[in-house]
Amino acid sequence: MSDFEDVYKLYFRDVFLYMCGLCRDEGVAEEIVQDTFVKALENLDRYDGRKDIRAWLFTIARNTYYNYCRHKNISIDDIPETPDDVVFVEHAENEEQAMQIHMALHSLREPYKEVFNLRVFGELSFEKIGTIFGRSAGWARVTYFRAKKLLMEKLNADAIDNERKCEEHEK
């Protein structure tokens, strides 16, 4: 199995969920994700390893989506500012996976947990979240994206631990 195949298997779902949150259309998201991995494979020699590979894939996906929007004459300003991580729970394959997501979210420290909850489950704008905390919309946006990163790291670490346990159990 090639290294890139491993990357594809590890990060396809993350990139897909990110795209679902950005474009709100699973069909378009799947198309963009496929294009993303094709572009990543074609430009693998440009990946220098300094950046997290998932961040590199997200950047390619976002740029691919923006190119798609330009081609379809969709203004980037027309993309609604709605919570993009509702997809974490909406796309959970089963109740157990949804529970893992909620447990990972519960393990976040404040203000990350509350900002994430307000954004995703409360569906509040960054402006309103900033107001609640007596801060700016920019602070809310940064805090939210840090919470999202921490949550993804926790979920990935848990997935790796579960995979190891399964492998040990199979032996």
**CATH number of the domain encompassing residue 136:** 1.10.10.10
Q: How many residues does the chain have?
A: 171
Q: DSSP code of 44?
A: G
Closest CA to 15 of 74, 62, 70: 62
Token readout for 94 is 């089963």
Task: Tell me the pLDDT tens digit for each residue of 77-120.
Answer: 555 444 444 445 444 555 666 677 777 888 888 899 888 877 87
Of 27, 51, 78, which residue sits at a domain end? 78
Residue 48 identity (one-letter amino acid): D
Helices and strands counted in the chain (H then E): 8, 0
The answer to whether residues 7 and 45 belong to one domain is: yes
What is the value of pTM for the model shown?
0.48
User: Into how many domains does the chain fold?
Assistant: 2
Which structural domain, as residue segments, surrounds residue 55? Answer: 3-78
What 3-state DSSP class applies to 140? helix
The answer to whether residues 67 and 95 belong to one domain is: no
Of 78, 103, 120, which residue sits at a domain end? 78
